[in-house]
Structure 1
Amino acid sequence: MSLVIEGEERIAAPIAAVWASLNDPEMLKASIPGCEMLEKTADDRMKATVVLKIGPIKASFAGEVALSNINPPTSYTISGEGKGGIAGFAKGGADVMLEEEGADATILRYKASADVGGKIAQLGSRLIVSTSKKLAGQFFSTFNERVSGLSAGDR
C-alpha cells in the first residue's frame, strides 16, 4: 500500500540554519516521532531505530536512511527502509525543498511517499494514511519549533 503526503512549513530561521539542521542527526532524531536511535554512518547515510504505534500494532523498525540529489542549501531527497519484524516493513522517501523568505525565514516544502507491507498493511488504508499524515505533521512542526528556537537563541 502506498501513499503521498505533501506540506509546507514556514520556519523563522535563515536558510543556512534550516539546511544545517536538516543534516544534523541529533536534530532529526529529536524531531522524528518515536526515534530511539539515529546515527550517521557516512556523509549521506544514517541508521535508525524508530518505535511506532499504528492502531493496535506497536513495532520497532530498524533501518537505513540515505540522502541523495543533494543541492545545498536548497534541496535533497531523503529515503529509507525499515523492517519491523512480524509487523511488516515501511519504506519511503521525501523530496525536501527550501526557499528563502527574506533574511530570517525559510519556507520548507516536502513531498513524501511511503509504502507499507505485512501486518501493518492489513490495518486498512484510512488508518495508515491518517497515522502517516499525523507523523509527518509532528515531525515538521517539531523540527520547525526546534530550528526556530535555536535560531531565536542565536540573536
Structure 2
Amino acid sequence: MELNGEQLISAPIPDVWKGLNDIDVLAKSIPGCEEISRVSPEEIHAKVMFKIGPVRARFAGKLLLSDIVPDQSCSMAFEGSGGAAGFAKGKSRVELKQAEGGTLVSYTTEASIGGKLGQIGGRLISASAKKIADDFFQRFAKELGGETVALELDASSK
C-alpha cells in the first residue's frame, strides 16, 4: 500500500518541526494513541488502537528515524503488531517546505500489511489510512495553535 499526501499547516517551519519531534504533541495528535515514549533520539515506541473496517486492534510498534535534516526532512521505518489482527511495517519520508500561509508538509509512505488486516480490501485499507492521516494532521495543527489549510487543486485535477 502507498499513501502520499500534502498538508498545509498554518504555523512556521520551526514550530512544525518541533511538534513532529515532541512526543506530548504526537500523543495528542495520533488517533487512538494510548501510549508513546522516546527510547532514544531516533527511536519512538507507541501503542495505538486502530479500527480499520471490521477489524479493531491495539498495535504496539516502533518508529526509527533516519536521514534527519532539522527543519527540512526525515525518513522513518516503522513496524507494529496487532496480535491476531495482523501487522504493519514500512517506511515513510516527510518533508517540510515554506509556503504561503505556513508550512507545507509532504509525505510518502509505503507499507505492507498482513494477518486479518491483510485480508481486508485494499480500497478500504487505503481509505482508512487516508482518514487516519487527515485526522492526525487536523489534531496536530490544532496542537500547534493553528489549523490545516485546504490546498488549492490545480486546473488539471479539477
Common fold, TM-score beyond 0.5? yes
AA of the residue aligned to 1:5 = L
Partner of 1:144: 141
Is 1:106 the equivalent of 2:103?
A: yes
Contact 1:9 1:141 in 2 (8 A): no
Following TM superposition, by how much is the alpha carbon of 1:84 offset from its aligned partner in structure 2, in angstroms? 0.7
Q: Retained in 2: the 8 A contact 1:54–1:128?
A: yes
- Among 32, 36, 40, the alignment partner of 1:38 is 36
Structure 1 segment 129-140 matched on structure 2, within 5 A: 129-140=126-137
Is residue 2:134 matched to residue 1:123? no
Q: Residue in 2 aligned with 1:55?
A: 53
CA distance in 2, matches of 1:113, 1:144: 24
Bigger drift between 38-47 and 130-139 goes to 130-139
* RMSD of aligned Cα (Å): 1.6
State the identity as a percent: 43
Taking the aligned partners of 2:136 and 2:111, their CA distance within structure 1 comes to 15
Query: Structure 2 residue aligned with 1:93, among 78, 91, 94?
Result: 91
Within 2, Cα distance between the matches of 1:93 and 1:30? 22
CA contact (8 A) 1:37 1:50 kept: yes
Instruction: After the TM superposition, list the runs of 4 or more consecutive aligned residues in structure 1 that deviate by more than 2 angstroms.
Output: none
The AA in structure 2 aligned to 1:20 is K
Q: Distance in 2 between matches of 1:148 and 1:112?
A: 26
Structure 2 unaligned segments of length 5 or more: list them: 148-158
Partner of 2:152: none
Residue type at the aligned position of 2:140? F
Aligned residues: 147
**Alpha-carbon distance between aligned partners in 1 of 2:116 and 2:3, rounded to the nearest angstrom:** 22
Does the CA contact (< 8 Å) of 2:30 and 2:136 recur in 1?
Answer: yes
SS state at 1:139 partner: helix
